[in-house]
Amino acid sequence: MTEKILLDKIRNIGFVAHIDAGKTTTTERVLFYTGRIRKLGEVDEGTTVMDWMAQERERGITITSAATSCVWEGYDINIIDTPGHVDFTVEVERALRVLDGCVVILDGVGGVEPQSETVWHQADRYKVPRMIFVNKMDRVGADFNMVIEHIKKRLYAVPLVLQIPCFRQDEFAGMIDIVQMKPYLWQDKEGKEYTVCGFQGEEEKEAKKYHEKLMEQLSETDDHFLDKFVHHREITIEEIKKIIRKATVSGKFFPVFCGSSLKNKGVQLLLNGIIDYLPSPEDVSKIKKSEHFSALAFKIQVDSYVGKLTYIRVYSGKISPGMSVYNSRTSKTERIMKILKMHANHREEIQETSTGDIVGLIGLKETRTGDTLCEKKHPVVLESIHIPEPVVWISIEPKTKKDQEKLSYALSRMREEDPTFRVKIDEETAQMIISGMGELHLEIIIDRMHREFGVEAHIGRPQVAYREAITKHVAVEGKYIKQSGGHGQYGHVELEIEPINEGFEFINEVKRGEIPREYIPAIEKGAKEAVESGPISGYPLINLRIRLISGSYHEVDSSDIAFKLATIQAVRDGTRKADAVLLEPIMKIEITVYEESLGDVLSDINARRGKVLSLESREIPLTDGGHLSDQSSDRHNRLHYVKGMVPLAEMFGYTTSLRSLTQGRATYTMELSHYDKVPRTVAEKLLPAVLV
């Protein structure tokens, strides 16, 4: 069998979604029907294969992305199951960076929820082809048409409906395949067996409507297909599938499937769709299989049994145990001890891996998330991974000297694993500060420190990771001149510093000869170091551009360190003159709440300096003993979706408050939207010594 055929038979996919949409349950069913596992596990019972961490099983959520593989109809499918909670968004980010395609799972009742939008845009960033699986169609209140409208309006995507739900005796029984125009029904409890049957009632009429729409959409993508469709010539199912695949891989359309993973309905057809429509490595890879070895390290895991485990995606070439690989970032060579095929926290040692594979490596000590591995004689640098900035921090203090040693080791290990987790020492208080993406993120880290590393520590209250920003343009000069006998130190820079909308930029505009080229990297390094501490209260500076305009040097006394120190001095002097302001993280929040608690929830948002941006409502049928209630107009079954913006500083402990306001009947999600200026009245309380 040739390598080309092998590549054609590989699918690297992930399941991504809002929290509790059914990613892990769907993965569990995929593994069951492909024969990878023999018994179905349940998230609520803490028995799933993919949620293997103790914290995941206790909380019923996915915290870390887990990799596995299976075989379906002769195709090798590598799967990454990702978290849905926004605190662990980097797990989704790095998975999407290395996947060829993904399945976005939507809740049939909730539709496109906030984190669904987030993961969708993350997939946009890496141009990942997607399929959509509308899950939980068995639940009361599930509305397939509503979800389709959400896809159009909230994701700005064009859905390609390939299945619609099929109900028999008022229960979700299966789905109608729009391509083949056949209903598929499930009867047995485990969902292993399904039947293809005839239409009943209005089913065929409804299916024909969707089939016609599908053919019209596909006609937009291929002139030959359009000609056949317009002239009513026969179009085979294989031709239809070929065009669907082409449109999916290009990102023009997004095939939509439906089912109920928990009730074991529709997963086999979803697997067929993954094979039929999502790309193989050669469909999307920018590096050809015939080239030399290259891979991206996308995840680091510290394993108590094997030590440091580096997850890689191979883009070209082959490697085997004992070989050495070159790290483009460190310019160092490291030796591979073992190659492992992963199945959640279980592993299988293999003797070779090649193009398209996702595996774990043992033996790499200095490789980090986002590093490119390749051959030293043929170096390449692959696109790295976007790492979001942390927004919450807490102080941590070991209880004993013994705990101090354990803490240092635990922090270094977890920093290797999680690039969104940061550690620093406060210069004024000498406190150790750890920061992350949210309260839950830090809570899990502290729990892991205790369980996995035996660390006992005093933990401070969560604090907001504020930022600072300048508001006006300034020109500034920095000189570092020192004479100490023999060679001295000389560095001189002239800079312009100005605010921008987002990020940090350093631009070299020095004319030839004013500053030698070899000193420019040191100047840039000094600029980056200087903006780590702002003039108001030492918070990092963001949203500014630094231009290196001019300067001078001394043929003997100039050095990298002199130019770096001159730059740090100039930037700090300049930002003090640039009318800096304090910024706070503003969170995008969506609350799902019933009618009777809506007023209290809206009042509470206002009290937290929040703004309500939109309010949507829909009727949810009440149930009585598993049957639909006649009280469909009762106010308590009207569900509201509140979208708003609230400062993070006002949201600590919100879970408890919301539970109290709504008798535990409301849910919410929150993620970082942007940074905004802290109102003066609030800033005066935070920083009275600075602002008074």
Is the pLDDT at 467 greater than 70? The verdict is yes
pLDDT score, position 629: 40
Predicted confidence band at 628 (pLDDT cuts at 50, 70, 90)?
very low
Residue 525's pLDDT band (cuts 50, 70, 90): very high
Q: At what angle do helices 598-607 and 654-662 cross, to 10 degrees?
A: 150
How far are the Cα atoms of 40, 103, 269 from residue 192, in angstroms, in the given order?
12, 21, 12
Least confident of 483-487, 663-667, 673-677: 483-487
Sheet with 182-186: list strands edge to edge: 163-168, 171-177, 182-186, 194-196
Supply the pLDDT for residue 429. Answer: 65
Nearest 10 degrees: Cα torsion 93, 99, 101, 102: -50
Which residue matches tokens 């070299």? 508
Over 60: is that where the pLDDT of 625 sits? no
Cα angle value 268/270/271 (rounded, 5°): 65
- Picking from 340, 294, 339, 297, the residue whose alpha carbon sits closest to that of residue 315 is 294
List residues bridging with 101 in a β-sheet. 13
The better pLDDT of the pair 179, 344 is held by: 179
Q: What is the pLDDT of residues 103-145, one digit of tens each?
A: 999 999 989 887 788 889 889 988 999 999 999 999 988 999 9
Asked if residues 149 and 243 have their Cβ atoms less than 8 Å apart, the reply is no
Q: Helix, strand or coil for residue 691?
A: helix
Strand partners of residue 497: 474, 546
Say yes or no to pLDDT of 1 above 50.
no
Nearest to 379 by CA among 310, 319, 330, 320: 330
Q: Are strands 130-135 and 254-258 parallel, antiparallel or unpaired?
A: parallel
pTM: 0.76
> Region 545-561: what's the mean pLDDT?
93
**Alpha-carbon distance values, 256 to 104, 624, 642 (Å):** 10, 32, 27
- Cα–Cα distance between 477 and 175 in angstroms, integer? 70
Q: Can you read off the two tokens belonging to residue 396? A: 């941590």
pLDDT of residue 464: 86
Beta bridge pairs of residue 646? 587
pLDDT tens column, 338-385? 999 888 667 889 999 988 899 999 999 999 999 999 999 999 999 888
Side-chain-side CA neighbours of 476 within 13 Å: the count stands at 23
Across all residues in the chain, what is the average pLDDT?
87
Above pLDDT 70, what percent of the chain?
A: 90
Q: Which tops the pLDDT comparison, 689 or 103? A: 103
